[in-house]
Chain A
Amino acid sequence: MKEDPNLTQFPDTFQNAWLGWCAAPAPDAKFLARLEQQLQMQQAELLRPVRPEGAGLRTAWGKVARLVAVRRWRTALALAVILLAIGLLIVGPQRVLAQVQQWLHYVPGVGFIDLAETQVLPSPVEVTREGVTLRVDQVIAGRDRTRVVFSLPGFSEQSLTAAQKSASPGDFSASLGLPDGNRLEPERWQAAFGSGRLEFPPLPVGVNRVILVVPRLPLMMAGAMPENWEIPLTLIPAEGEAGASLFPEPYRLEKASDSHHGVTLRVLDVAQTADATALHYQLEWTDPGWQFFGSLGMERMPELRDNLGHGYWESPSSNSSVVSVGIAAPAPSQPAPTPSLPNTAGTLVFPSLSLYASQATLDVDSLSFSIPAQGTLRLDLGNHPMGEAWPLDASIDVAGFPVRLTGARLRQETVQAPDGRSEQRSLLEFDLGPIEEREGLSLVSITLMDESRGLYGFIGRTISGGKTTYKGRVEFQAGQTPTGVVTFDVTRADILVHGPWLVSWDVPGKEATAPVLPVHVSRAPVSKPGDVPQPVLEEALLSDRLTAVKLDAIGLPPGGTFLWVLPYDPFTYNPGQAISGLYLEDAWGRRYEAGRNLAFLRLNGDDPAYDPRWSLFAPLAPFAQRLTLHIPGMEILLPGKASFEVDVPEQVDFHPEEYTVMVVAGPGTGSQQTRTRWVSDIWPVDIYIDVAGCRLRLNQAQIERDEQSGPSYRLILTGNPVQRQQAGLSLISLRFAQVASPDGRVLAFDTASYESGLISYPFGGIGPVKPGSSEAQAMVHLDVTAANQADLLPGRYHVEISGVTGWIPGPWEIQFSASGN
């Protein structure tokens, strides 16, 4: 955060004091794991309808996300451990861990650590008093610090009364007793109920026996639990055989790198554990004026892929264990890169690669840097009153990007904070021409500053509806409208460097022969073909990281296509309702829930497109053979063509209107909140839609204004109650082909747009007239904001519709063999 250009303008002493004040401890790892487990369990039970793609709207509507049923994370992990053990027995640890680099080791939850001259605890040490056990899980005594990780096994926060708990972390203290009687005090620590981490200075040379002294357990009131703990600890050298066996040894990569636009990404080391694949990476760039923003991947998360079609997303340690590693004494035959260029290093952790993968690729799409950009922008603002807009023709070159200002406007806005308070702001806004990507670099934002007049502003890009536009903005005190000549200095710019960086390597010990997995299962025969709609198995892939099933459907109305599994009817959605979802079952009666996969499918290589016809499940247990896929319901698409036009008036007045929302905090629970929005009066329209055999009528129009979020102006069209069962379907939503705006802009949509789930506007659907009502009503929402993203765009809008979607209830069962035969 220190590289924030806003902060680096101040002296180092202030920066350090400020950052010191802002620091907050990292959460306890066990808390993180516990919470994650709780969330996984909750996710299994939740009913989750998609809200309509509009803010503050009638939200019992819309299409429904497919059921995500989850279960038995631990079972899947245990399976991974077993498979790894089997793999090691078959392949042999020497081959798996070939090219082992001697000094660097991966310590789960910490990162890659140079264990040279380091002592560790050979096994956890416990002391039990009055039924309470304090366990030291690990000690890593290195040249720069001594880390101690401890826990209280079997400890439950719920078993404590409020009087036993201390809210102040300052009540906790600990020290390391040395053989000479001296004590080391911790330099930093984290503590939670039941666990803690301590960091002490390095042990004196020759010391391998210490005593951990804990006067009071963390976050406990005095007398609540046994006190004055002393745990003797004996450490062993990590470099010896016993020490080295404790931590995964990485293999070193010599030439695993990729470069774009002067930025090189290297994977230096890879460590493989039963549940993780950890990468030690280094990023190096040529321009010393650039400052890296510290995060890999700006538009997509970093991804690990293997040659079997698996993709893997980051695991938690990637966030918590980013460390700069000094490799003190690399093996002579494997010299580490010794860059003289600006660089940074870190750790990325992914779920464990498939045991059958022989090749791996790290994919990082883009990187963000702050770069120097010298320039001056001189503007004559004249003497325009508030609310006026005027053309501009001013240009400035920013780090090679030509930036052209085409217009300016003065306006006031009211901002409502989430807590309900509102305030007035006065703005000088700029319209800009397009700023093209240049040699793989995109301009993200630049800073404008007129020191003499105390004006400070920015120009930055906005991506909306897949389109990138640039806007400028200078905020000032109400009543102090700037006039005359202003001179903005530009000092730095934020850019995005586009890749992708694809760093590939061969996994040692794995032959590049035809992989054993995944097993491919082709389309299952249909037992009851006919006119009745039913899903069919199109394809299945079975691997040690996932079970993937691709479905289609037969017997649909003419032209109908299968979209995805939809477990329940969104129209009758009830938050408290328990449902049985999509799952697989083997002949032994073992269930495999959707979403318990350890990896996802990357069948099309670099193509990130998601095909919702695939459903992913946990990997199969050993000896799973005959499989039954249980399908509760599905959503299908009926194509058709229809169009309508609607006029937005020139003059629209808005008034505040309160509305209530229910914020859901869990199954069957929630709280009502009252909010305010600005809406126009309702005016009558008469729009008749006849598409794919379905007939809908819209007869009311209203515009909603919301400058804080989403499109600033939304046109909402609603209709009288309508028959929901049409064309053999329970109607859910309208599909749009394109919307043509009065200014000539045309927004077009295809199937992929909808499959990506990123379409917010337009939205069209069929939902209850009121929550809980059995009467159905059609609704359409359109974005009617002008291209400058600030004004209402009046005039005639032409809307083309490409079909409707509907729900077909099951259940169905599809049986197939796991053998691939």
Chain B
Amino acid sequence: MMEDALLVVDESEPVETGEAALLEAARRDPAAFASLYRRYVTRVYRYLYKWVGNPVEAEDLTSQVFTEVLTGLVHYHEQGSFAAWLFTIARRVAIAAYRRRRPTLPLDALGDFPGPARDPLEQVSEVEQQERMAALFARLSEEQQDLLRLRFTACLSYAEIAALIGSSEAAIKMSVYRLLRQLYEKWETP
């Protein structure tokens, strides 16, 4: 076994050059790091929340992720997707937490964001739909679930997910399409 040293992060295939200047500055300038943090923290939190299903644990994990990002940023020296690297860390942290305690996402959480006021029947219908979607989602593999979380909860671009997963943007788009289609077909089936 070869012996290697300090931090190694999963490298990502450079897809877009976004944030390069900010990343470079963030290594030297905490104000720039704060900008990075602020740009991504909500997406990271939401992503982690979707994994663990409660805000307390999501906050803990968010702290853990950004602590790792802070210490690892100077090691991250790639041109390209910072988001991919960031969510590589978030994903690892989430998987570890999820496997420590596989929680059932409380359906209460579904009630967090019912959206604008509607009539009660409509709200009941929506809760039913979301429960059904939750059941379909649960049938997907862990990896498939995470792909959809990255796209639709964390709002990562396909290029960013591609860099994170270690695949191409095209392959990710295709996988997401297939998963949505799979969900849709089951959702349509009474």
The residues of A with any CB-CB pair to B shorter than 8 Å are 1, 4, 6-7, 9-10, 14, 17-28, 31-32, 35-36, 38-40, 42-43, 46, 48-51, 53, 55-61, 65-66, 68, 70, 165, 167-171, 187-193, 201, 219, 297-301, 313-316, 318-320, 351, 415-419, 421, 425, 427, 445, 447, 456-460, 462-466, 471-475, 575, 594-600, 608, 610, 612, 615-616, 657-667, 670, 674-675, 706-710, 756-758, 760, 768, 770-771
20 contacts between A and B (CB under 8 A): A20-B115, A46-B71, A48-B74, A65-B27, A168-B106, A169-B112, A191-B55, A219-B56, A299-B16, A314-B39, A418-B10, A463-B14, A463-B15, A471-B168, A473-B170, A610-B25, A616-B29, A661-B7, A663-B8, A667-B71
**Given A25-B112, A25-B113, A28-B55: A660 in contact with B31 (beta carbons within 8 A):** no
Q: Are A301 and B22 in contact (CB under 8 A)?
A: yes
With beta carbons under 8 angstroms apart, the residue of B1, B70, B88 that contacts A660 is B1
Query: What residues of A have a CB within 8 angstroms of the CB of B71 in the complex?
Result: 42, 46, 48, 664-667
Chain B, range 161-183, C-beta contacts under 8 Å to A: 163, 165-171, 173-178, 180-181, 183
Q: Contact mask B114-125 → A, CB, 8 Å, 1/0?
A: 111100000000
A-B interface, 4 closest residue pairs, ranked by CB to CB distance from nearest: A170-B108, A458-B170, A708-B166, A709-B11
Q: Are A710 and B75 in contact (CB under 8 A)?
A: no
Decide if B155 is an interface residue (CB 8 Å cutoff): yes
Q: Are A660 and B170 in contact (CB under 8 A)?
A: no
Q: Taking CB as reference atom, which chain B residue is nearest A575?
A: B6
Decide if B86 is an interface residue (CB 8 Å cutoff): no
A422 CB, nearest partner CB in chain B, Å = 10
Q: Contact mask B133-167 → A, CB, 8 Å, 1/0?
A: 11001000001000011011101001100010111
Query: What residues of B have a CB within 8 angstroms of the CB of A757 in the complex?
Result: 23-24, 27, 77
Q: Are A48 and B133 in contact (CB under 8 A)?
A: no
Complex Cα spacing A25 to B71, Å: 27
Query: What residues of A have a CB within 8 angstroms of the CB of B3 in the complex?
Result: 659-660, 770-771
With beta carbons under 8 angstroms apart, the residue of B66, B77, B176 that contacts A6 is B176
Q: Are A168 and B75 in contact (CB under 8 A)?
A: no
Query: What residues of A have a CB within 8 angstroms of the CB of B158 in the complex?
Result: 445, 460
With beta carbons under 8 angstroms apart, the residue of A32, A59, A425, A598 that contacts B171 is A425
Query: What residues of B have a CB within 8 angstroms of the CB of A462 in the complex?
Result: 13-15
Q: Are B88 and A418 in contact (CB under 8 A)?
A: yes
Q: Are A169 and B33 in contact (CB under 8 A)?
A: no
Complex Cα spacing A187 to B68, Å: 36
With beta carbons under 8 angstroms apart, the residue of B13, B14, B35, B168 that contacts A313 is B35
Query: What residues of B have a CB within 8 angstroms of the CB of A32 in the complex?
Result: 38, 41-42
Decide if B102 is an interface residue (CB 8 Å cutoff): no
Q: Are A674 and B1 in contact (CB under 8 A)?
A: yes
Complex Cα spacing A86 to B176, Å: 55
Q: Are A187 and B70 in contact (CB under 8 A)?
A: no
Complex Cα spacing A663 to B155, Å: 26
Query: What residues of A have a CB within 8 angstroms of the CB of B130 in the complex?
Result: 17, 20-21
Complex Cα spacing A10 to B20, Å: 36
Q: Are B15 and A475 in contact (CB under 8 A)?
A: no
With beta carbons under 8 angstroms apart, the residue of B6, B117, B132 that contacts A201 is B117
Q: Taking CB as reference atom, which chain B residue is nearest A459?
A: B170
A424 CB, nearest partner CB in chain B, Å = 13
Q: Are B32 and A313 in contact (CB under 8 A)?
A: yes
